[in-house]
Chain A
Amino acid sequence: MYGMPMTIFLFVCLFVTGVSCNSVGDKIYVDFKDNIPCVRLLNATHQIGCQSSLSGDVGVLHLLESEENLDWVLSSGPDPPYMVMLESTLFTRSVMMKLKSSSNRVAGVVVVAPNTNPSAGFSPHASCPNENSGVYTEKYSPSLAHCNATVWNPLGNNLSYEEFDFPIFSLKDDNDTQAMRQCYMDHNRPVNGSKPRYPLCAMQLFSHMSAVTDTATCMRRNSIAMSLNPEFVCDPLGDVNIWALSKPLNVTEKGHKPGESVIIAAARLDSRSFFFDIAPGAESTASGLVTLLAVAHALRNATQEAQLNTTIMYTFFHGETFDYIGSSRMVFDMERNQSIIDLDNVHSVLEVGQVGLHGDTKLWLHSDPVSRRNSSIDEEVCVFFLLNFSVEEPGSSQALPPSSFQRFLRARPIPGVVIENHQSTFTNRYYQSMYDNSDYLNVSYPPGLTPEEQLDFVTDAAKVLLLTCCLQFDTRFTFHFITVMLCRGFVEQTDEVSLNLSVFFSPGNTTTNFYIGVNQQMSEPTILVQFMLANLTGSVVNTTQENCNNQKENEDDKETKHVRPTDRLMCFCVRSTCRTTKAVSPAFELEEYTSSNYSTWTESRWKSIKGRIFLVASHDLEMLTLGVGVGVLLTSLLLTFFISSKADILFNSGREPTNATY
């Protein structure tokens, strides 16, 4: 009878408080909106990237004002460890190495990504990219190995390949970041050299990586299927290579195709930066790949009409940034007769490298001097240069720049050239960094276009000058891509051809991410390029979607794909020779995880990546609170013991037991 109203009262209370939920956590912590961490990658010998502790690293926030101010973090600051907040101008090798060397006082680093690119150039990649996986080894050519003759990426500070044992995150420069700077100014800033008083603004970063040491260790730990829940700690990097033929070949028969002569026109599909999943790669990747797509489209009708006896294979290799994953896999498959053609079928290789042009830079055709010592190869290569183009040849004893063609040369000497926009060192100042974006290439629409109009923008004055081996075409085309906009304007000057490339990806105004990622899923550019290539080299077929996906081939040489460019445009079925093959390093096929011949890059797994900012009290206050609590506990225990032992005296005094008479 007492119970009923009480329960109703309790329910009402719970309902009211449950609905208007006031979480204590929300009042203390402010979480980061987007998390852009640096993650751990492993190869046969090393681990690179960043690691945090399992329960996050906490540090007092410190906004670094200059490199001299580092002294506060490294030695004189009274409240280590510090969480260092860097503006992008201070994100240099010297600052990071100093922070790395005293990592007991550094809890983590946060880099504020600017809205404009730094003018001095920045490249966290190596100065000699893919040094040990190209063709220039000590045996092949000691004078050209290890970039002895030409350092390709002189701005490279190798930061991407260093190992840090604290987390490093990147923040966009927006209101939240400004709030963090304000938090530092209000609480943490030392005034006149005096010690800042508690409570201080602190930050906690979680990016604990599961894999450790090297690829062999983490693959072994993946496969130890013991204990209650087997854990995967890392995954090999991989994706797919995309290729299309100008003339259909039988795909089910693998290995050597007698009588076929194939020219491989190659470009790369991937890029990277210091941070995870950020790889705009505009000049290093997108320029070459879009050029090759344009070539494929432009040559579609021409090759069918001309009835050539050489086939052109437009190939897009993925994973070239990480020791040539895609091209090494394709060469490996060709050597094992697992690919559609054989290395004997390959007539030559033409690769489109970084071709983004700034102002009036020229195009250069690079070739390999060592293989050209053989006169037959030299003859083939010279054919390229006889074509009446305004491109130049750099010094004849210069090595090939880092390119997929090097992996073909590793297998056997094949004639080939690589088209680049630099004569010796890269002109790209932001090679494989987060600043290699469309701003750098000066992509721009004509002013005053709405996003829809921009998407439908077509250049009129597009004159395509195409370089293909042994063929010379001079064609005018206009391009209209539904999801990829290629805007080309050609200005033919006296002896120069300049390409102005504008590359736009996806109308949502987000930057494309060219990072290869792990094997489980295809990256967004891969899907995009695959459908684009199918659309550009194939022909439309009039069937329904189900028929399109299920069609059994009469000829095993073409594949139908249902191309669905964007949600609001019509979908249609395309029949083309475009196909994909797996691009996972042969080291993982052969299970040679310490291989020095193939790429062994893997990416670690992680549980959670987040960051948050809050006010933290001094250590003394925490200890005092704990001490007081323990004291209260002990006092109450003593008191209870004392009272219970003297209970009869305390509670029976002055009370006569009444004799109840019933």
Chain B
Amino acid sequence: MNLERLPNEEKLGLCRKYYLCGFACLPFLWLVNVVWFFREAFRKPAYTEQTQMKTYVKRSALGLLFWFTVLTTWITIFQHFRAQWGAVGDYLSFTIPLGTP
């Protein structure tokens, strides 16, 4: 989708939709929001909707950072300690590797 062809109101609407939907445990939408609208919000010359767009992009970036740290921490802990957790580790796993603890 080429943002060039859209009027500004629609761009803002799109940005808002991505921002709001990301709250449904969908951090990837926030990532898309940040990457897609970064140039629009911060590099283009100012227009009326841009301030609102800037807040959306900033908040998306914050939310993204939060999710990234939480997920990275949990994944590191799980991969490292799953073998030691015994039964709990097995019940948390979707696929249990064969032949290794």
A-to-B contact residues, CB < 8 Å: 51, 54, 208-213, 217, 220-221, 224, 226-227, 231, 233
Contact = CB atoms under 8 A, between A and B. Distances in A.
A205 to B, nearest CB: 14
Contacts of B90: 217, 220-221, 224
B42 to A, nearest CB: 33
Given A224-B96, A227-B94, A212 B87 contact: no
Contact of B99 (A208, A220, A226, A227): A208
B99 A210 contact: yes
B100 to A, nearest CB: 6
A209 B99 contact: yes
B101 A231 contact: no
Q: Is the interface of A mostly helix, strand, loop or mixed?
A: loop
A217 B97 CA distance: 13
Interface in B33-66: none
B77 interface: no
B95 interface: yes
B98 A233 contact: yes
Interface residues of B, number: 11
B95 A211 contact: no
Contact of A217 (B86, B91, B95, B98): B86
A224 B91 contact: yes
A53 to B, nearest CB: 8
Contacts of A209: 99
A213 B99 CA distance: 9
13 contacts: A51-B99, A208-B98, A209-B99, A210-B98, A210-B99, A212-B101, A213-B101, A221-B90, A226-B94, A227-B94, A231-B96, A231-B98, A233-B98
Contacts of B86: 217
B83 to A, nearest CB: 9
A199 B91 CA distance: 48
A51 B101 CA distance: 13
Contacts of A233: 98
Contacts of B87: 220
Interface in B64-81: none
A209 B99 CA distance: 5
Give the interface centre of B87, B90, B94, B96 by most chain A CB atoms within 10 Å.
B96
B53 to A, nearest CB: 38
A51 B98 CA distance: 11
Nearest to A231: B98
A54 B99 contact: yes
A221 B99 CA distance: 11
A530 to B, nearest CB: 35
Contacts of B98: 54, 208, 210, 231, 233
A210 B94 CA distance: 16
Given A220-B90, A224-B90, A224-B91, A211 B99 contact: yes
Contacts of A226: 94
Contacts of A227: 94-95
Given A217-B86, A220-B87, A212 B99 contact: yes
- Nearest 7 Cβ contacts at the A-B interface: A210-B98, A212-B101, A210-B99, A227-B95, A208-B99, A227-B94, A209-B99
Nearest to A224: B90
A216 B99 CA distance: 15
A83 to B, nearest CB: 20
A213 to B, nearest CB: 6
Contacts of A210: 98-99
A212 B100 contact: yes
B96 A221 contact: yes
A254 to B, nearest CB: 36
A362 to B, nearest CB: 49
Contacts of B95: 227
A47 to B, nearest CB: 10
Nearest to B87: A220
A4 B99 CA distance: 55
Contacts of A51: 99
Contacts of A220: 87, 90
A342 B30 CA distance: 72
A505 B96 CA distance: 43
Nearest to B86: A217
